[in-house]
């Protein structure tokens, strides 16, 4: 629709795929993601050894698996980033449909691995968490619907996407997985905001989210236990939050030294949800600030490149993917310092986890595909031209 109205600048003909991809992709953001993965391996060498010993595995069992999953994630990221927006949309919609069905069947065929939340399928040699793959697929599918609704005589894409969002949030709440539910809702809200949603409506939705949180607190023991632990004025030093808080305090500015940290021997999830506590204890505030800077660069550069994009679908999908990526990192780190209740959420590309790594690679690959430079004029030039 955009090209029909404003026209498109012709692309260079006959240029090979790899040189064209290298010329147009955001190499800075891609480098930041690679650095995050390297830091994740470095932290995994420290954090996962105690867990491997407790479970009777070789010392570097989890690190080896992270290398395998991470390599698959990076390959997925590179291949996806080479795709056209149309191909990314088709892949995302197909992935969304498969993940949606898998999420719906979790109560019947899933397992909780003793963690109190039915989030995984056990394959014996590995496990799969459908919600991780659902997020990027839903963001792109919802962006497609929202963009279609802006066309003249277009379908009611806003209503369709919101209905899907509510259905997903309800299924995630049943697991329960309120962290992923919040991410899905936030991603949709960001896209709807960029698409031109009235502020009054967004404020009403925020109020409904608060009301849903109150209902969840009243009816879910899992949710209430985490909220009570967060609001308690006294922090039990023998809980995960207690261990993490103490580790961050002990690390100081430069850390206690490589391999000298103690929190990894106490935290069962030191290699996943609380990997930041290991980073802060052994390497200090310096490494934590580096992590924050890397995530910030990816998100900010993505937004800046998307601001120049004419196509509403690309702009909305890229915004949703960048927002979910950044907020997931922010929530994980905020949990470690007790700014928000525990969510059971991984740190993208740093925490251990096959589903998280591979789904993250696909999501960032989609984001890189959407933020590639394209032969088109900037929106500012277009508006100036229309004003004359």
pLDDT of 386 above 60 = no
- Any idea what the Cα angle at residue 143 is, between residues 142 and 147, rounded to 5°? 120
Question: Given this model, what pLDDT does residue 7 score?
Answer: 42
Give the pLDDT band of residue 12 (cuts 50, 70, 90). Answer: low
Write down the mean pLDDT value for the chain: 84
Q: What local confidence, expressed as pLDDT, does residue 195 receive?
A: 87
Residue 2 placed within a domain: no
Q: What is the pTM of this model?
A: 0.87
H helix intervals, 60-112: 61-81, 85-109
Query: Are the CB atoms for 204 and 198 separated by under 8 Å?
Result: no
- pLDDT band for position 388 (50/70/90)? very low
Tally of domains within the chain: 1
Higher-pLDDT residue of 179 and 38 is: 38
The DSSP secondary structure of 197-232, one letter per residue, reads: --HHHHHHHHHHHHHHHHHHHHH-HHHHHHHHHHH-
Domain of residue 172: give its range: 18-377
Q: Is residue 300 part of a domain?
A: yes
Query: Does 125 map to a domain?
Result: yes
- Supply the pLDDT for residue 109: 86
Distance CA(158)–CA(142), nearest Å, equals: 8
Hey, what are 27's tokens? 């190499």
Work out the percent of the chain whose per-residue pLDDT is above 90. Answer: 40
12 found inside a domain:
no
Tell me how far CA of residue 234 lies from CA of 66, 237, 241, 341, in angstroms.
36, 9, 11, 14
8-state DSSP, 10: P
In a domain, 1, yes or no: no
Quick: pLDDT tens for 232-275: 666 666 677 777 778 888 888 888 877 777 777 777 766 777 88
User: Does the pLDDT of residue 157 top 50, yes or no?
Assistant: yes
pLDDT (mean) for 151-163: 88
Q: Is the pLDDT of residue 293 over 90?
A: yes
* Residue 219 maps to a domain: yes
In a domain, 8, yes or no: no
The per-residue pLDDT for 69 is 92
The closest of 362, 369, 360 to 305, measured between CA atoms, is 369
Asked whether residue 102 is assigned to any structural domain, the reply reads yes
């Amino acid at each position: 629709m955009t090209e029909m109205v404003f026209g498109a600048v012709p692309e260079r003909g006959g240029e090979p795929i790899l040189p064209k991809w290298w010329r147009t992709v955001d190499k800075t953001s891609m480098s930041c993601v690679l650095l995050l993965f390297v830091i994740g391996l470095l932290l995994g060498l420290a954090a996962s050894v105690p867990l491997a010993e407790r479970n009777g595995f070789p010392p570097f069992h989890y690190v080896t698996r992270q290398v395998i999953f991470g390599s698959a994630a990076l390959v997925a990221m590179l291949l996806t980033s080479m795709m056209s927006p149309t191909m990314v949309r088709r892949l995302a919609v197909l992935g969304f449909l498969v993940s949606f069905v898998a999420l719906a069947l979790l109560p019947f065929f899933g397992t909780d691995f003793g963690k109190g939340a039915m989030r995984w399928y056990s394959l014996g040699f590995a496990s799969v968490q459908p919600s991780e793959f659902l997020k990027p697929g839903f963001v792109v599918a919802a962006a497609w619907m929202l963009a279609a609704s802006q066309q003249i005589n277009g379908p009611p894409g806003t209503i369709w996407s919101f209905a899907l969002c509510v259905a997903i949030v309800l299924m995630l709440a049943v697991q329960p997985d309120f962290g992923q539910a919040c991410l899905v809702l936030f991603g949709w809200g960001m896209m709807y905001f960029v698409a031109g949603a009235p502020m009054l409506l967004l404020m009403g939705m925020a109020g409904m989210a608060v009301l849903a949180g109150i209902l969840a607190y009243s009816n879910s023991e899992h949710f209430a236990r985490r909220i009570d632990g967060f609001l308690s004025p006294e922090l039990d030093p023998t809980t995960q939050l207690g261990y993490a808080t103490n580790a961050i305090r002990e690390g100081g500015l430069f850390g206690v030294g490589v391999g000298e940290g103690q929190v990894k021997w106490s935290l069962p999830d030191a290699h996943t949800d609380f990997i930041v506590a290991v980073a802060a204890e052994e390497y200090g505030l310096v490494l934590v600030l580096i992590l924050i800077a890397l995530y910030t660069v990816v998100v900010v550069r993505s937004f800046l490149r998307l601001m120049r994009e004419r196509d509403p679908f690309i702009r909305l999908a890229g915004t949703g993917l960048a927002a979910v990526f950044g907020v997931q990192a922010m929530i994980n780190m905020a949990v470690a310092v007790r700014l928000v209740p525990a969510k059971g959420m991984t740190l993208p590309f740093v925490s251990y986890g096959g589903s998280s790594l591979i789904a993250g690679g696909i999501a960032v690959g989609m984001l890189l595909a959407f933020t590639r430079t394209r032969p088109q004029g900037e929106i500012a030039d277009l508006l100036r031209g229309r004003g004359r």
